[in-house]
Amino acid sequence: MIVTLTANPSLDRTVALPGPLERGEVQRAVSVRQESGGKGVNVSRALVTSGLETLAVLPGAESDPVLAGLREEGVPFASLAIHEALRTNVALTEPGGVTTKINEPGPVLAADAQEALISLLLERSRGASWVVLAGSLPPGVPADFYATVTRRLRNADAGAGVPKIAVDSSGAPLAAAVAGDATEAASGKPDLLKPNAEELAELAAAAGFSSASTAEELEADPYAAAAAAAAVVRSGVGAVLATLGSKGAVLVTADGAWLATHPPVTAVSTVGAGDSSLAGYLLAASQGAAPADCLRQAVAHGAAAASLPGSTVPAVHQTTPDAVTITALRKD
């Protein structure tokens, strides 16, 4: 089973526009979609769609629309009751897939609620193969929350082994997840990290990578992306799955580096495409696939998600892994 933790879940509303966004003008929407969201929630949604056992752990009142949406989709979840409504995020999509997102901060999660959420995760992740810590952190939560959760998971007596841990976040929470001493017995560093190109550039710089690169440069040069990811792996992270937008993705482990590309698709919405990529990787990993084939399914899932409206997640039968080209890369 794969357990996801989404500390700052959301109700995701996607508004499709008939043409380019015109600032300061009145525009009529072509359509509006609404789904339960947040990175971890999206991963669980994608896994359920493909028939894999998963559980989404998140805060939220029983009557909250986010939890109602999960019930409607048949996504198993365990929630920590809170009094405030969860946030609503709005995505404006233009023809061609250009997406503008407006994300609310979310309700404040006090220290006692943070501890209760961690305890709920520890309880419900016993026997899990993977735990995914994903998304932004709500107000009141320290930046090192994911590193703390990782250490707590590795120190817990789960009775069925310690799950592997994947982190998909950004900014300070992502930086804190890879900081610290990797030689500690229960390191806060994850087994898998899933940055995009911008996040990878920041992480590589923090890891002391001497060749500074921008997100645009990393997307244009997969060898540079692999070298940057290798610097992060050397800092103690188990593996880096770096999504590069329409350029595909690279996977770097201690044993190798690979690039995966997919033929161009007609982009409808990029909302949640990275989350679907992570779900595809975990789906393949749960079936015992080799690293390069996990990468293959990750890119197939991401491409399929980009071709669907809103934050719709693809089922595995909607993906085309046979169309993905895998290339072995040198890491540095």
Cβ–Cβ under 8 Å, residues 137 and 143: yes
Task: Find the mean pLDDT for residues 152-179.
Answer: 86
Q: Which of 39-53, 83-97, 195-209 has the lowest mean pLDDT?
A: 195-209
Q: Which two tokens stand for residue 310?
A: 């809103």
Q: What's the pLDDT at 295?
A: 98
Burial 114-145 (b: 16+ CB within 10 A, else e): bebbbebbbebbeebbbbbbbbbbbeebebbb
Arithmetic mean of pLDDT, 63-76: 96
Query: Tokens 């993705």 label which residue?
Result: 249
**% of the chain with per-residue pLDDT over 90:** 79
Model confidence at 257: pLDDT above 60: yes
Write phi, then psi, for 57 (nearest 5 degrees). -105, 130
pLDDT for the residue 207: 74
d(CA 247, CA 226): 13
Flag whether pLDDT at 187 surpasses 80. Answer: no
Alpha carbons 230 and 108: distance in angstroms, whole number? 36
User: Mean pLDDT for the chain?
Assistant: 92
CA-wise closest residue to 296 among 228, 230, 248: 248
Q: In the predicted model, is pLDDT for residue 161 greater than 80? A: no
Beta-carbon contacts of 176 under 8 Å, excluding residues fewer than 6 positions away, are 143, 144, 145, 146, 147
Nearest Cα neighbor of 245 from 292, 306, 294 is 306
What pLDDT score was predicted for residue 186?
A: 53
Instruction: Tell me the mean pLDDT in the region 116-133.
Output: 96
Quote the pLDDT of residue 332: 52
Segment 257-274 mean pLDDT: 88
pLDDT at 211: 66
pLDDT of residue 185: 46
pLDDT of residue 96: 80
| Contact present, 261 and 299 (Cβ < 8 Å) | yes
Mean pLDDT of the region 26-40: 94
pLDDT at site 51: 94
- Per-residue pLDDT averaged across 232-257, rounded? 94
The per-residue pLDDT for range 273-297, each reduced to its tens digit, is 899 999 999 999 999 999 999 999 9
Helix, strand or coil, per DSSP, at residue 100: strand
| pLDDT, tens digit (0-9, with 9 covering 90-100), for 41-59 | 999 999 999 999 999 999 9
Asked whether the beta carbons of 41 and 67 are under 8 A apart, the reply is no
Q: CA–CA separation, 6 vs 119, rounded Å?
A: 14
Give pLDDT, residue 183.
56
Q: Note the pLDDT of residue 20.
A: 94
In angstroms, rounded to a whole number, what is the distance separating the alpha carbons of residues 286 and 253? 17
The percentage of residues in the chain with a pLDDT greater than 70, rounded to a whole number, is 95
Q: For 208-230, what is each residue's pLDDT tens digit?
A: 676 667 889 899 999 999 999 99
H or E segment at 131?
strand 130-134
Average pLDDT, stretch 306-313? 84
Q: Which has the higher per-residue pLDDT, 255 or 185?
A: 255
Give catalytic status of residue 255 as yes or no: no
- Active-site choice (12, 64, 168, 275): 275
